[in-house]
Structure 1
């Protein structure tokens, strides 16, 4: 039951943003991040992305499958990080199901593009912060904390396992 709740939170927060910073480890064992559009989040929490099979990130995933996804929606004061394992998957059925006009901008030949491949991310752990309050309410909470010496109420925060 807890896992279903965690997946629901992950889906709701990530789907509302759609774009994340997708972080891998480079050949020099440094972090490499780039914005990536989420193609699909399945009911089991699996997160899918489209990429070029010959891109640096594909090579990085082949070397080290640990990834970090960071979703952020400052207008709603919501933030989500997802740690997981990534793998490159060539699945024509999923390509057809998840392909969109947005993806077509990078792959004009569509699912027939020979370099088009999917990245499957299986989450291990996620951490989120959800204030969902207006900026005025957040600012008031911070100012109140400064005056009273209390800690500001910044909303919900939790770490979830999958």
Structure 2
């Protein structure tokens, strides 16, 4: 795994909101991504069965897009992958949160709960410093040395 991939998996753990959509449907919707070290290689989403995402994946996996722009985590990503339904109870247990609990009266057992699994295929990633102090230090250092500042990394990643 490349350093940029490792940075992605480390930083996405604390991302609160991302935009997720099925390719060809023309829109992305705000969702809360969840990752878990016990379930590597996937990003999980909890939604209701009546949503466009749940309906769109009802007949099988779909090509999908996940977009992240998180200043607090210094993670910016445009990710292509596959979105599919999941009946994995362990994954639901691992990814369930108080946020999901607020949306479903019956908690994890609510019949309207639909777990979705996003499996990344490739991405354009940028990771940046999240500290204002580091940012200003790098800017000052670059200015004094006549170089460009080192504020992170960017590249294309294949998962």
TM range (shorter): 0.7 to 0.9
1:52 to 44, 48, 55: 48
Instruction: Tell me the residue number matched to 1:87.
Output: 84
CA distance in 1, matches of 2:13, 2:44: 12
Instruction: Tell me the residue number matched to 2:158.
Output: 161
Report the RMSD for the aligned CA atoms in angstroms: 3.0
Q: 1:19: how far off?
A: 1.7
Q: Cα deviation per residue 1:17-59 (whole Å; 9 max; x = unaligned)?
A: 132111224xxx4422111112324453211111112211112
Structure 2 length-normalised TM: 0.77
Instruction: Tell me the residue number matched to 1:66.
Output: 63
CA distance in 1, matches of 2:130, 2:51: 39
2:115 to 118, 121, 124: 118
CA distance in 2, matches of 1:95, 1:76: 24
Structure 1 length-normalised TM: 0.75
Unmatched runs of 5 consecutive residues or more in structure 1: none
Contact 2:4–2:125 (CA under 8 A) maintained in structure 1: no
Aligned length: 153
Unmatched runs of 5 consecutive residues or more in structure 2: none
Structure 2 CA distance for partners of 1:87 and 1:132, relative to 1, 3 Å: same
